[in-house]
Amino acid sequence: MKAYELQAFEKQYRLVFSERPSKPLKEDEIRVRVKACSLNYRDLVNQKNLAGRKVDGRIPLSDGAGEVVEIGATVTRFKLGERVAGCFFPKWIDGPFLMSNHQNDLGGTIDGMLAEEVIGSEQGFVSIPKNLTYEEAACLPCAGLTAWYALTARGNYQSGQSILVLGTGGVSIFGLQFGVALGAKVLVTSSSDAKLERTRTMGASATVNYKLTPAWEKEIFQLTEKRGVDHILEVGGPGTLEKSIACLAANGTIALIGVLTGFGSPNTSLFPLVAKNARLNGIYVGSRVEFEKMNAFIEARNIHPIIDKVFAFSQAEEAYRYLESASHFGKVVIKMD
């Protein structure tokens, strides 16, 4: 089968096309012909070796969707021809997160989805929403589930609460879509007025250009009538955490998700979290059960993931560089040839 793999090159990794033999199935496994994949910032982190992970020889990308083309002898969850997506953590079925899950993360410690076919235990896949294309479904396993899990299972979103999303990348746009569908007042920050205008057409209640308004946390606070925001999807990390804490409401929740500003320590006091009786939740995707709940919600509300650009399988390197440019709105997808 055709695949891409990461190969060590100087202090980083390069994406290299390869041919690999198809492996036989174990009795509890399924073979999936991949139809589409999507990229996340994590994929750039791995490729650029920003977190020091050893991924030499690894097939990248956690997110992908495809068709079941072969099933093992004891498989009962799926039938031939079913449309499925892989789970970021194939062994995290339900319940609280276990550190052992880090030994089984697609595109990290085990091979990911950027290949013609993938095989794995039936327990590590979910059926995709009937209203979505393969390209749309490929956007769900990491970015979609992260936003969903942050707001619902961990954030305990309640009707009428407000949500702030930082930027217009994959997680943030899913947060906007889920928030609007839940009836929330959703606020959005971005450095692009054009992108902010697009979020308003999608239902954003208020927007702030953080490039034109560097003290955007003060503007957000004013826009919430000096109450603050109930839920913040914090994808920036140490460079934006102080501002997120500043505009958080009493009893609010910050979902600490991303490291777009780096892996360093935040230069801020955490006491305001205490003063506000607030929560800081570390979020690393979600379980299979939460994935299935999200898919049911997506299908019931007819939500369609926002795809900025689709690249061919042969253009995988271009897809990486496009994501790196940060010019995207929503998700970047690779469609199999």
* pLDDT tens digit sequence for 160-198: 999 999 999 999 999 999 999 999 999 999 999 999 999
pLDDT of residue 276 exceeding 70? yes
pLDDT of residue 259 exceeding 90? no
For the chain, which residues make up each domain, given as ranges?
2-142+285-335, 155-282
Least confident of 51-55, 241-245, 262-266, 297-301: 262-266
The one-letter amino acid at 267: N
Instruction: Give residues with Cβ within 8 angstroms of 71, minimum separation 6.
Output: 25, 30, 31, 78, 79, 80, 122
Q: How confident is the model at residue 269 (pLDDT cuts 50, 70, 90)?
A: confident
φ/ψ of 196, rounded to 5, equals: -65, -40
- Predicted TM-score (pTM) of the model is 0.95
Check residue 42 and give its pLDDT. 95
Q: What class, spelled out in words, does domain 155-282 have in CATH?
A: alpha beta
pLDDT of residue 275 exceeding 70? yes
pLDDT of residue 260 exceeding 70? no
pLDDT of residue 324 exceeding 70? yes
Check residue 258 and give its pLDDT. 80
As a 3-state breakdown, the chain gives helix, strand, coil percent values, each rounded to 5, of 30, 30, 45
Q: Give the CATH architecture of domain 2-142+285-335.
A: Alpha-Beta Complex (3.90)
In this structure, what token pair is assigned to residue 265? 């320590």
Instruction: Give residues with Cβ within 8 angstroms of 202, minimum separation 6.
Output: 176, 177, 180, 306
Taking each helix axis from N to C terminus, what angle separates 288-301 and 170-181, rounded to the nearest 10 degrees?
60
For the chain, give the mean pLDDT: 96
Check residue 268 and give its pLDDT. 84
Taking only Cα atoms into account, the Rg of the chain, rounded to an integer number of angstroms, comes to 20
Check residue 138 and give its pLDDT. 98
pLDDT of residue 323 exceeding 80? yes
